[in-house]
Structure 1
Amino acid sequence: MSRPQPPERPAPPFGEFLRAIDAAAQEAVALHCIGGFAVNAYYGLERPTGDIDICNAVPHSAAAWLVVLAGPGTALHHRHGLYLQYAAVASMPYQDEERLQVLYAGAFVRLRLLIPDPIDLALSKLSRNTEIDRADVMCLAAATAFDLSALRERCAGPSCARCRQQGTLWGLDYTIVASTHCRREP
């Protein structure tokens, strides 16, 4: 799968916001970022967002102080116009940790940002099934040339069982995705 080259430093306004979080961190913390921020920052798709959705923090105990420090309504939110949002409802694919990509490597002292690969990021959006999530999936497919066999495999496996039960695969037709936005398989 073709992968974009991630930027070395965060673009405004995210840079100052993330540096403030890094400065406040008492220990090393890794954030698994999803949503519009991940789509924009790593994959280079331009979609406005006012938050950084995280689905995991390592250590897990960091999630609580992160939301107090940088969540909605905090001083950092008011100062930078951004906030951290813990997206507990996100349904991440099985064993996604093996496919996480580092964003802004070396840009921070204690903070480490990790982004799912494009297929995992797309599958994480299926449980919400909003118009913007569907648009993000199509943009990810166009920007990264999904490996359609990997998409089918992950969607058929335990990763998407919850989405299939909820009926939120919204008729994801691989042939439409392939013909419209992705490289065709041989």
Structure 2
Amino acid sequence: MTEILKTYFANNFQTTKTEIEKVVSAFIEKTVKKNETLISKGDICRYTYFVCKGSVRAYFIDDNGQEATRYIALENQFITTIHSFISHTPTNEFIEATEQAELLQISYNDFKKIIEETTLGKDLYNKQLEVAYITNHWRLESFLKMTAKQRFDFLLQTNPAIIQRLSNKIVASYLGITQESLSRIKAQK
């Protein structure tokens, strides 16, 4: 699994093999089953995860038991509950494997250490913050400006693997619509 992360770093950052080796050595392999929970509401998120294979999502459950998926990470993407990870406070989110997944995880303490000791660590942290900001901004803007069909069409265009690989329940939760609405939208295609 570490070869996948090494390739990711080499392809996405200006860095050296030495830095890649140092950063990758701080990660630990973890295999999770489909529907396995990595983080529960009330936990302090102590890890960030890199998805080598499979998929993982971050989601909330409201007072009525409805799920709202905030983020879905597929291969070559990171996922964490960033607020909890940074602030060491309990999260309101869950992180769960949506497929059997092979992950690499890094603890907060090890992450801070690689940030202090390597340029790659600093660049990775900056990229994670940028991705979190851009993703959250897009999600907010899409809910304010787009119809459910427009959100579906955009997801189908930009990340069809989510629609192809995950259940209608999860896709609907991600799009902020009911499963029935998702079925109607799919039937129109």
**Alignment TM-score, normalising by the size of structure 2:** 0.32
**Alignment TM-score, normalising by the size of structure 1:** 0.33
